[in-house]
Chains A and B, each alone.
Chain A
Amino acid sequence: MKNSDQFSRRDFVKLGVAGATVGAFTLGGWAFTEFIVDEGTTDTWHKSVCRFCGTGCGVMLGMQGKKLTRIRGDENAHNKGVICIKGALLAELMKIPNRLLIPKIRKNGKLVSSTWEEAMQLVAEKFKSSIDNFGPDSVAYYGSGQLFTEESYTANKLFKAGIETNNVDSNARLCMASAATGYVQTFGKDEPMGSYEDIDHADCFFIIGSNTYECHPPIWERIRIRKSVNPNVKIIVVDPRNTKTAQQADLHLAVVPGTDLLLLNAMLYLLVKCQNIDRKFIDEHVQFMYEEKKVGFEDWVAFLDDYKPELVAEELGLSVKEIQTAAHWFGTSKASMSLWTMGINQRIQGVFLNNTLNSLHLVTGNICRPGATPLSLTGQCNACGGIRDTGSLSHLLPGGRFVQNEKDRNDMEKLWEVPEGTFSERPGYHAMELFQAMVDEKVKTALIMCSNPAQSLPNLNHYIPGLEKCFLVVADIFENTETANYADVLLPTALYIEKTGVLGQTERRYQLVEKLIEPPGSAKSDLEILVDLAERLGHGKLIKSKTTADVWDEWRKISAESKYDFSGITYERLKNECGIQWPCPDVSHPGTKRRYAKGDPFVEEGKEIQFYGKENNRAIVFLRPYIKDEEQLTDEHPFYLTTGRVIEQWHTGTMTDKISELKNASKRGKFILNPIDAHRLGITENDLVVVTSKKGKIEGPVSISDNETPGVIFASFFDSSFLINKIVNDQYDPVSKEPNYKVTAVSISKVKNTDI
């Protein structure tokens, strides 16, 4: 008889089948879920950088085959995954139709299709004949803070060491020159000492001349988060406009345009008076100077007597109490951080303002420690790395060297292996002089790359004839830019991830953009164009690095001979890391978060702080007097016009104004007025008005908004059908040569009949 307790073979099989069934269900279910939980629309993700503004956000690019389909902020980059709407729409940028696909040459007034050979041959001939007939200073290069570093470096080398002209300048002159000069004068070296990370430690933010909310949104988000986590943090915003940044401030100081140096000096006065200065820090690290002359602490204190709040408040348009509050918050916080941009730089006293902002930090010891730093926010994605660091301006040479300094010239002649005396000791034409030289027919042939001066220059009407007279070679991605209208030769270029190169943003961080797709048509990278031009002009040996990787290595090695040493930042590292901050002298160096402080490779062992850019290791506090802006209100011009960017648009809108989401959101160019002014003038929303300055007049629609303060009219410059720069003042800072875009006296009247 079968023992019922025995486990039969049959039972075993049954159990096995049951187990297998359960297992099959489990695994089948797993496979099923693997199948139904979708992977998203991208095949691969690539680490990259946004190509628009100087925030330099790290992005992750999602590719589907050869198409860019998704953009996400890079969570591991400095921006911690936050980007703005422009960056979020980079995929749309790459889809813009009607790119320039082949070179074009102007024949009988019309641009006609050509070949690279024909176009480049013509370009080389024109350059050669200008140089032969009128000397090397009859040609020029006008570049951009949006080219890759390798491209700007090569252009600078070709023109300064090859063609032997210092006529190398760029659109960065229009946005960053005052900040760069301010840093050089105060600390001996350009570029800031602080980092974005300081935002996470600051207790007081002093934001002046920056609409951070719209122009550097991830930075604003970081400030906002800092405040939300620590509500005691104070935000002071100094801006004539009630911008979205100002609306969220704890204290908004709506100064009269052009007067804010009075405010900075008044704050310094109060800091001294209330003993909120750091005497020990001053004694150890600071030198006072009036112009070229060394002065003492007492002289500085006496100088500030002219800026008692009671004496300046009225001209500033502020109350004494407001100035006191700002000085008190700045001086008593544990760590104060200043942030500024074009509102300070694009000014007739731009350098003085930059000096004085740096002084606020030096005299209070709010510098070189977490949260305590001045930090000038950069406009373009590569104005710092590409233009300032490579010395691609008419008065500079690479690595913080100066054209006028003999030792600097000799150093660079050795490094570039050209004979002594190659460089001219005379600075070339800076941007405003360059376009004037075109008007005066002193510059006969020019190469303009990645820039749109026919829309971005102030007092446009004056400079346009120069663009017409000069033989203009324009390298761009589109044919319908304002500048392309004046091109004699138009060269199609690669855009963003259609080429490889390095971008260097605000906080000395170098980041790599890798090529992911081929450029359309026969478009080439700007570097390829420069290398080709060098060959044709007989400078092929000088421009020996012909690929981006080779140029980078050459520049990297040259940087080791300066305090800009980034020789440890190789392409290999950049491919794997989310950017590296220089100085970075070797490949194992992690980069320098805080410059001039312990941890900076140039700070001597045992020192906590060393301003090594200056011979005596002391940063300079300049006595900078306020000079009234020439643009004063009169009966004829009773309003101030100030210009700026809006969140959706990038500069002259050549790219962003072709992306429907951005175009529709920003709407068209217009004048924005305060309701009180509008009411007084009998102007209502969408009325057509004429705004007139000493430079001319333009017509446009009006929008009425509380975001403007009475007496101030705002207009943005992205719309090519609304060329606001035609009426903007073109005076410039006497030192930095940066134009005074922010202050133009104007009148406004409703259009009855069109009289333009």
Chain B
Amino acid sequence: MELIEWVGLILGITGFILITSLAWMIKKYHRIKPSIKIMSLFAIFIAPLLSLVVANYHVFETSKEVKSCMGCHVMLPMGIDMLDSNSTSLAARHYRNNWINKQECYSCHKDYGLNGTFKAKADGYRHLLTYVTHTYKEPIKYRGEFNINNCLQCHEGTSVFMKVEEHEPVIENIKKGAQNVSCLNCHGLAHPSSLRRTPGHPDYKMLTSPFSMTIKTKPENEIRDLKFFLTHLILNEKPKN
């Protein structure tokens, strides 16, 4: 368990003990002593509030993890492809080369700044509800436009980026405010194409099965952990095909 989870657990147990003792004291003394008032303030307001903050923080943090995104099986093709050492998608290339070595989905998919984080969370919430209410259809589609500033945040200004003269028109286009050039245009698909993610396509099975993956680039335990997670997910929740 992570530290944050321990803190949450302790707060929860403390709150529970306080409320139980409070109920017992009120029953025994039939009046509220000042010490009980303080205790009740803590038990009824402060402890839950703290728990709420901690819980929210925890949810916010864990929802940045790949595992969290891949908790919904519609995301499996993206995750499995990313982990596949033979895949040529941009996500897989970033993963393979360790360009982003944690929170791989979130790092590219949240816009920068506070607003970005808020939007990412809001979108995550939308995804969750769409998923649990089954109001989606495979292959799922990216809503709106991928913000290329998310790419530029890491790449712009690096020597590798600046060395490529062909980036000049892209920068000019961005400065012009037209923003109609996407990094993906030249650098390829971020994830498997929608056609391959369509149930019934010959690649669909492979893209939804963690057994099809060849992962060479991550520490053994991390790979085992992810494969185990995905296998478990699939066995419990069979995707449609």
Contacts and interface: CB of A to CB of B under 8 A. Distances in A.
Interface of A: 26, 29-30, 32-34, 36-41, 69-73, 75-76, 80-85, 87-89, 91-92, 217, 221, 225, 228-229, 647-648, 660-662, 664-665
Given A41-B145, A70-B145, A660-B172, A30 B129 contact: yes
Interface in B144-198: 144-145, 165-166, 168-170, 172-173, 176, 178, 180-182, 184-189, 193-195
Contacts of A665: 165-166, 168-169, 172
B72 to A, nearest CB: 15
Contacts of B194: 75-76
A92 B178 contact: yes
B172 A39 contact: no
A649 to B, nearest CB: 11
Contacts of B169: 85, 89, 648, 661-662, 664-665
Nearest to B97: A228
Contacts of A83: 185-186
11 contacts: A26-B129, A33-B123, A33-B126, A36-B122, A37-B119, A37-B122, A70-B145, A82-B188, A88-B186, A221-B187, A660-B172
Contacts of B24: none
A30 B136 CA distance: 14
B187 A82 contact: yes
A87 B166 CA distance: 13
B229 interface: no
Nearest to A69: B180
B188 A225 contact: yes
A229 B165 contact: no
A26 B128 CA distance: 11
B113 to A, nearest CB: 15
A595 to B, nearest CB: 23
A72 B186 contact: no
Contacts of A70: 145, 180
A37 B166 CA distance: 32
A640 to B, nearest CB: 24
Given A33-B126, A85-B186, A664-B169, 12 more contacts: A36-B122, A38-B144, A39-B143, A41-B145, A72-B184, A73-B188, A80-B189, A82-B189, A83-B186, A89-B180, A221-B187, A665-B166
A647 B185 CA distance: 15
B64 to A, nearest CB: 17
Nearest to B172: A661
Contacts of B168: 661, 664-665
B125 interface: yes
Contact of B122 (A33, A88, A217): A33
B122 A85 contact: no
Most buried by B among A29, A225, A661: A661
Contacts of B119: 36-37
B88 interface: yes
Contact of B173 (A34, A73, A89): A89
A228 B145 contact: no
A136 B109 CA distance: 65
A88 B187 contact: no
Contact of A72 (B129, B176, B185): B185
A43 to B, nearest CB: 13
Contact of B126 (A30, A41, A81, A660): A30
Interface of B: 86, 88, 93, 119, 122-123, 125-126, 129, 143-145, 165-166, 168-170, 172-173, 176, 178, 180-182, 184-189, 193-195
Q: Which 3 A-B pairs have the closest CB atoms?
A: A661-B169, A40-B144, A33-B126
A224 B20 CA distance: 66
A89 B181 contact: yes
A225 B89 CA distance: 9
A26 B130 CA distance: 12
B189 A75 contact: yes
A72 B182 contact: yes
B193 A76 contact: yes
B56 to A, nearest CB: 14
Contact of B180 (A30, A33, A71, A81): A71
A435 to B, nearest CB: 34
Contacts of B122: 32-33, 36-37
A76 B195 contact: yes
Contacts of B176: 660-661
Contact of B193 (A40, A75, A85, A661): A75
A91 B188 contact: no
B125 A29 contact: yes
A75 B180 CA distance: 17
B125 A225 contact: no
Contacts of B93: 228
Contacts of A89: 169, 173, 180-181
B115 to A, nearest CB: 10
A72 B168 CA distance: 19
A45 to B, nearest CB: 10
Nearest to A34: B126
Contacts of B188: 73, 80-82, 221, 225
Contact of B181 (A39, A85, A647, A660): A85
A389 B13 CA distance: 79
Contacts of A40: 143-145
Contact of B185 (A26, A33, A82): A82
Contacts of B180: 69-71, 88-89, 91-92
A216 to B, nearest CB: 13
A193 B134 CA distance: 46
A506 B123 CA distance: 42
Contacts of A38: 144
B172 A664 contact: yes
A225 B88 contact: yes
A161 B145 CA distance: 51
Given A73-B184, A81-B193, A661-B172, A30 B166 contact: no
Nearest to A663: B169
A475 B78 CA distance: 48
B123 A81 contact: no
A35 to B, nearest CB: 9
A69 B184 CA distance: 16
Contacts of B129: 26, 29-30, 33
Contacts of A39: 143-144
Contacts of B165: 665
Given A37-B126, A70-B180, A88-B180, A81 B189 contact: yes
Contacts of A36: 119, 122
A229 B184 contact: no
Nearest to A85: B169
A37 B123 contact: yes
Nearest to B126: A33
Contacts of B172: 660-661, 664-665
A686 to B, nearest CB: 17
Contacts of A229: 86, 88
A225 B90 CA distance: 10
Nearest to B92: A229
A71 B178 CA distance: 12
A251 B190 CA distance: 30
A328 B71 CA distance: 50
A225 B187 CA distance: 10
B40 to A, nearest CB: 22
A93 B136 CA distance: 36
Contacts of A228: 88, 93
B142 to A, nearest CB: 9
A76 B192 CA distance: 9
Contact of B186 (A29, A30, A217): A217
B152 to A, nearest CB: 15
A647 B182 contact: no
A661 B144 CA distance: 25
Contacts of A221: 186-188
A650 to B, nearest CB: 13
A385 to B, nearest CB: 24
A233 to B, nearest CB: 13
B87 to A, nearest CB: 8
